[in-house]
Amino acid sequence: MSGNENTPKHILVVDDEEAVRNVLARTYESEGFRVTGSEDGEDALAKLAADRFDLIVIDVWMPRMTGLEVLAKLKDKPDAPRSIVMTGDNTPATVMAAVREHAFWYLSKPFTADDLLRLTRRVLASVSTAPPIEVLSGTPQWVELLVPCEREAAYRVHDFMLHMESELSEEARDSIGHAFRELLLNAIEWGGELDPSRRVRISCLRAKRILVYRISDPGSGFRIDELPHAAVSNLPDDPTGHVEVREKMGLRPGGLGIMIAQAIVDELIYNEARNEVVFMKYLD
């Protein structure tokens, strides 16, 4: 990463289509970024060895060396820049391969200039020091990940998982994603206590007629009657009682996660300790 905050951020754009490289370069340069283009993976590695970059924006399928092969060579280098993978290939295998090779974010083609710039600024502004997301299983039927207990990691995983469910309708994908994100944030914030050295284990199993998510956190669990800061504990005649409790505790606005999930999914089941939750959504 560049040391001087006043120095324009240097972005390496890697795509085998010259027209795409030119459009991305103009988009970035219009916002004050410094841009270098590269036509394939081998050329990108040579440029990375010769210069410093703050971010790589890289396509997946290119001649000579794919974008994923480039990331595989970079992922164990402590000074490697973060990467945004951009591709029109949204198959689960490609999404999980990007996560496995430590892609920081994933951007589906086609995308708008605003989408690109918004995500680029978010990645460049990140101060995350959490370890990478670990892929234990990456098949379309069974995805299993270890996620560091950090909010940003939760948002990244949520985005990756939305791409995994690209075959669902937009409405179904958004609603399932909303429930997943709320429960994952609960696990990371309360079970993992926002400690990036601790990890939440998530699984997504997909059969013909059912989608099953399982989230297991490293905490000791909880009891519903000990959650005054959560809307699920509100009395019937006081539906917003948790808001005042959260303000007194200095917590961010929220506390609706469990209630939102209950309203969206078909089945929501906790283990006895309540440090592991399974939710199911029927696909028919």
Summarised one tens digit per residue, pLDDT across range 214-271 is 999 999 987 666 555 565 555 566 556 555 655 666 666 555 667 778 888 999 999 9
pLDDT at 42 over 70: yes
pLDDT value of residue 1:
44
Angstrom distance (rounded) from CA 96 to CA 93: 5
Altogether, the residues listed in the chain come to a count of 284
For the chain, the domains span 10-125, 134-282
Which structure tokens are listed for 30?
Answer: 């219009």
Mean pLDDT of the chain: 88
Is the confidence at residue 142, as pLDDT, over 50? yes
* Contact residues for 5 (Cβ-Cβ < 8 A; gap 6+): none
Percentage of the chain surpassing pLDDT 70? 86
Question: Tens of pLDDT along 56-104?
Answer: 999 999 988 999 999 999 998 988 999 999 988 878 889 899 999 999 9
pLDDT at 151 over 60: yes
Would you state the pLDDT for residue 237? 63
- Domain 134-282 coded CATH 3.40.462.40: no
Q: Which CATH class is domain 10-125?
A: alpha beta
By the 8 A CB rule, do 72 and 99 touch?
no
178-193: pLDDT as tens digits: 999 989 998 999 899 9
Strand order in 34-38's β-sheet? 34-38, 10-14, 55-59, 82-87, 105-108
Mean pLDDT of 192-199: 97
Neighbours of 178 (CB within 10 A): 16
Quickly count: other Cβ atoms within 10 Å of residue 160's Cβ. Answer: 21
Confidence of residue 39 (pLDDT cuts 50, 70, 90): very high
Please give the pLDDT value at position 143: 95
* pLDDT at res. 253: 58
Q: What is the mean pLDDT of residues 140-168?
A: 91
Res. 163 pLDDT band, cuts 50 70 90: confident
For position 192, what pLDDT does the model report?
97
Contact between residue 57 and residue 47 where contact means Cβ atoms under 8 Å apart: no
Q: What is the pTM of this model?
A: 0.83
Question: Which among 62, 140, 54, 56 has a CA at the least distance from the CA of 97?
Answer: 140
Mean pLDDT of 121-142: 93
